[in-house]
Every structure is written in structure tokens, then in C-alpha cells.
Amino acid sequence: MKYQAIIGLEIHLRPKTKSKMFCACANGSDDLPPNTNICPICLGHPGTLPVVNRTAVELGAKMALALNCQIPEQSKFDRKSYFYPDLPKNYQISMYDRPVGVGGWLEIEVNGTSRKIGLTRLHLEEDAAKLIHVSDGSLVDFNRAGAPLMEIVTEPDIRTSPEAKAFMQELRLLARYLEVSEADMEKGQMRCDANISLRPLEEIDDLKMYPKTEIKNLNSFKAVERALEHEISRQTELWEQGAPPKIQSTRGWDDAKQETFEQRTKEEAHDYRYFPEPDIPPLKFGAGVGEFDVAKISASIPETPSAKRARFISEYGFTASDAKILIEDKQVATYTENVLSELFNWLVSIEGSKTKAEKTWSSQKKDFAKLTSGWLSSKLFKLLNASQQSISEIKITPENFAELLGLIYQNKISSSAGQTVLETMFNTGADPSHVIQEKGLVQENDQAKLETMVKTVISQNPGPAADYRSGKQNAIQFLAGLVMKETKGKANPQIVQQLLKDHLK
């Protein structure tokens, strides 16, 4: 590729508040019959006065702090004028030069490489109404009008479509960890506009920027990725024809055709005739002082996904990829930590003292982590997915899950028996030792017993035995299978393999 993509994103998140941004109408009831969740304020009737939703401001500041933004002492709302039927006042209350958060960054990882994506700002504003286009015109549903939004604008730091997708996913995860927004793209709680231009690779150091194209309203992670890919190849072609985009333009994304299409050439900021909103006093932020206490908001921020990911690696010995999977959902991460703490308790009971258990734990930390992540992510998650349950509905207590891991770790049951036990535990919530006893699944580890069986199997199957001796490695699996069958699957497979090898020498 001879060109580098310069990508910036503008992401709108719907804060989790009870009411709209400036009135008492409910937030998040877009599904109600059209125009039933409205009042004179969100309909923009003359003479009405907006009142700022405190929670929306606090959630915006919380997100801004977690995104490493500076919180200025004062922030204010402005009127952004534009004329469109989805906007009853003919202006949107937004923020122009005094946003809630300035600067900041979010770290993302793509293919094992981490990058910090810089942020320009985070500001608050109100949502517009929804337009429904019908055969003989357009209808307006104001239920969404005036709903709160926080808009996060990145610097043009993103270089590839997978980076854009990773940024969106990390942002969504952070919003969910912070409980500032559900950030569900399908429900319109997270929406994305992407800005993209290309730059010839030889000009990489000049930091020169060419007119950008804005792709509007990307409503899924896939749409963001595909639209950017489409735009990169479209603009590459234009560059190769010697006719790169000369002016800023706005394009839409056609999901059916999987391509972007031109909508209009871009208005400059002054076209919006921003001016201070006279009906809303400025917001004052300060540490321990002012209308919004930044220290208090800061203290309400929980461990972030990236911090948790790093801690899962350092504290428990998870691999980077396992840590990534396990923290993807906050409740799964909590469940995992509870299982690990119960697994340690189980180890204490086995080893007889906390000191001994600590020694074993620290020397075999990575094995415990691998065992835990394997049984959670490749086995338990499958059962959850298949039954469409979330981890909060699970019947298996962390204590029982840890006990199952302990039994597998001690070779008391084979991993195939473990699978059966897990399924039963999943369906009934029973504890593993009961299930094992009931189903007679205790693993046969008795060397002498197994050796007798191995000898019998070898003498009764001279053909496969001779095959193995003459170099057919696979023949041993057939013989091992017979021993497993003989023990109804309870024989310890490692011991059986070893015994067969010893006796087939």
C-alpha cells in the first residue's frame, strides 16, 4: 500500500440516566408509541426553560476522567444552529469551546501491539428526534428528542479499520465498566461517525492532512470496519487516478450494498453559528468544591478494563489472550476472581496449611490460571451461550466450580468425566463430589489394576500390538481405547498411555 489512512472517530454514547438532558421526560423509552414521551421543553416550545440533568453531567465527567481527559473548571452549553425537521428548536443544545473533558487518550491493542489513541474532547448535548420516511412524506417521532448524549471525539490517530473497531470495543467496555452507558449499538445507545483521508506514504513525516470524508451513522462494529475499508479502497483509487478528494464531504453507509455514497459537502463549523446558551448557567467543576466535585466523581471510578487486564496477568498468571477474554464482561471477571479465591481455599484444605498452599500456589500459579481459564472460556462459556444465559443466572457457585477444578487438578476425575460433571452442575447446581459419586466417575489411578488390564488387552490383541511395535504409532490409541472401554471411561488416560508404551517395548 502506497497510502496511509488517517482516521478519527466521533462517538455518541447515551448516558444511563432516568430522564432526558434538560427535562423530566424518560430517557431510554424510544420504543413507546411515537410522540408519547414528550413535553413542552423537549418539543422546544417558546418560553420553556431547559434544566440540566445533574446525573448526565456526572456520568460525562466520570467517563472523561477515565479517558484521561482534563476537566476544566468551567464548562458551558452552546446553541448549534441547523434547520432540520428532527430539531424542533432549530438549534441543538451542545458544547462548543468549553467541553466537559479536554484531551485524554484510550489505549487499544491490535495484533499484540498497543497504541494510545489521543482524544480531542468529550462534551454533552441533546439527541435529535427520529425521522421515519414513508411513501408520501416523512414522520417525526420526538420520543428521542432531548435525550442525553456524550460525544467523544478522537484525534486523527487511528490508522487502520481494525484499530477503529478495537477503539470502539474498548470504549464500549469502559462505558459498561463505569456504568455510564449500556453502549449497545443495536439500540442506538452508541453511534459512530468516522472521518478518513489518505496521505501518500512518502509524506508520512510531513504530517500533512488532506480533505477528509466523513461517514455518518455507523451502527455496528462491522459497519465501522467495512465502511472504512470501502473508503480506503475508494480513495486509493482516486489517488491513483491523480484525483484525490479536494473538498470535505459527507457520505452515508449503505449496509445492503456494503459501500459508501455521497450525501453532501461539509459545512464548516461557523455554518452552525454556535453561540452560548443563555438559559443555562455554566457548569462548575472543582476538587472538593464547586457544583460538581471532581474528586468525588473520580473516586467513583472502578478498576478500568485495562487495569483489570494487567492485574489478571500479573496477579494470577493468565496469558494476555486469556486475560482479554475473561475481563470482556465485568461479571465474568468477578466470577473468575471468586473461583480463583475458592480454588486457593480448596488448596489450603488439601495442603493442610495456608503457608504450604501459598507456596504451591505461587510455584504453580500459571497452571492454575490455565486450568481456570480453559474450563471457563472453552467449556462454561459454551454452555452459557448454548442456553442463552448470562453469568449472573448461573447455578454453579464459584466454590463448586473451584472444587471441580481441584478434582481435575488432582486427577481424581478425567477431563472427559469433568465435562459430564460440569454439564450436570450447570443444569442442577449440584456440587461436583455428589455428581461424581452418583455417576461413578471417580478416575481410576491404580497402577496395578490398570497394568493388569493393559497386559490383558495387549495379549488379546496381538495384531495392533505388533503394528505398534513395527512403528505404527496410531495403533496405541486403539489399545488405549479398549482399556478406557473396559473401565467405562474412568481410567486415567496418561497412566494407560504410559503403561501401554512400557509393555509394548
* 42, interface contact from Mn ion, Zn ion, none, CB < 5-8 Å by kind: Zn ion
HEC letters along 461-500: CHHHHHHHHCCCCCHHHHHHHHHHHHCCCCECHHHHHHHH
Q: Least separation, in Å, of the C-beta of 46 and Mn ion?
A: 24
Alpha carbon distance 255, 260 (integer Å): 9
Q: Least separation, in Å, of the C-beta of 102 and Mn ion?
A: 17
Q: Least separation, in Å, of the C-beta of 13 and Mn ion?
A: 11
Give me the residues paired with residue 116 across strands: 107
E strands in 25-112? 74-75, 78-81, 91-94, 101-102, 105-110
Q: Least separation, in Å, of the C-beta of 241 and Zn ion?
A: 51
* 496, interface contact from Mn ion, Zn ion, none, CB < 5-8 Å by kind: none
Whose Cβ is closer to Zn ion: residue 23's or residue 158's?
23
Q: How long, in residues, is the chain? A: 505
Q: Least separation, in Å, of the C-beta of 51 and Zn ion?
A: 11
Alpha carbon distance 126, 14 (integer Å): 10
- DSSP assignment of 196-218 equals EEEEEGGGGGGT-----EEEEEE
Q: Least separation, in Å, of the C-beta of 29 and Zn ion?
A: 11
Report the phi/psi class of residue 180: left, alpha or beta, with left for phi > 0 and alpha for psi in -120 to 50: alpha
Backbone φ, ψ for residue 378 (5° rounding): -95, -15
Alpha carbon distance 26, 29 (integer Å): 6
Whose Cβ is closer to Zn ion: residue 39's or residue 383's?
39
* 39, interface contact from Mn ion, Zn ion, none, CB < 5-8 Å by kind: Zn ion
Inter-residue contact 19 to 26 (CB < 8 Å) = yes
Whose Cβ is closer to Zn ion: residue 27's or residue 492's?
27
Whose Cβ is closer to Mn ion: residue 30's or residue 151's?
151
* 151, interface contact from Mn ion, Zn ion, none, CB < 5-8 Å by kind: Mn ion
Whose Cβ is closer to Zn ion: residue 39's or residue 280's?
39
* 484, interface contact from Mn ion, Zn ion, none, CB < 5-8 Å by kind: none
Whose Cβ is closer to Zn ion: residue 41's or residue 417's?
41
Question: What is the helix (H) or strand (E) element at residue 385, kind and residue range?
Answer: helix 381-386
Whose Cβ is closer to Mn ion: residue 152's or residue 325's?
152
Helix (H, G, I), strand (E, B) or coil at 414: coil
Inter-residue contact 272 to 82 (CB < 8 Å) = yes
* 25, interface contact from Mn ion, Zn ion, none, CB < 5-8 Å by kind: Zn ion
Q: Least separation, in Å, of the C-beta of 10 and Mn ion?
A: 7
Cα→Cα distances 258→26, 158, 190, 218, 412, Å? 35, 22, 20, 12, 54
Chain contacts with Mn ion (rule: CB under 5 A): 151
Q: Least separation, in Å, of the C-beta of 56 and Zn ion?
A: 14
**Nearest to Mn ion by Cβ — which residue?**
151
Inter-residue contact 25 to 37 (CB < 8 Å) = yes
- Nearest by Cα to 460 from 485, 441, 443, 495: 485
* 141, interface contact from Mn ion, Zn ion, none, CB < 5-8 Å by kind: none
Q: Least separation, in Å, of the C-beta of 22 and Zn ion?
A: 8
> How many CB atoms lie under 10 A from the CB of residue 196?
26
Q: Least separation, in Å, of the C-beta of 376 and Mn ion?
A: 39
Helix 432-439 and helix 398-409: axis angle, to 10°? 50
Dig out the grid coordinates for 232 from the structure. 480506503
Whose Cβ is closer to Mn ion: residue 125's or residue 342's?
125
Q: Least separation, in Å, of the C-beta of 193 and Mn ion?
A: 8
Whose Cβ is closer to Zn ion: residue 69's or residue 149's?
149
Whose Cβ is closer to Zn ion: residue 41's or residue 71's?
41
* 185, interface contact from Zn ion, Mn ion, none, CB < 5-8 Å by kind: none
Amino acid at 213: T
Chain contacts with Zn ion (rule: CB under 5 A): 23, 25, 39, 41-42
Whose Cβ is closer to Mn ion: residue 151's or residue 231's?
151
* 140, interface contact from Mn ion, Zn ion, none, CB < 5-8 Å by kind: none
Cα→Cα distances 467→339, 470, 503, Å? 46, 5, 14
* 23, interface contact from Zn ion, Mn ion, none, CB < 5-8 Å by kind: Zn ion
Cα→Cα distances 18→15, 179, 207, 302, Å? 9, 13, 44, 21
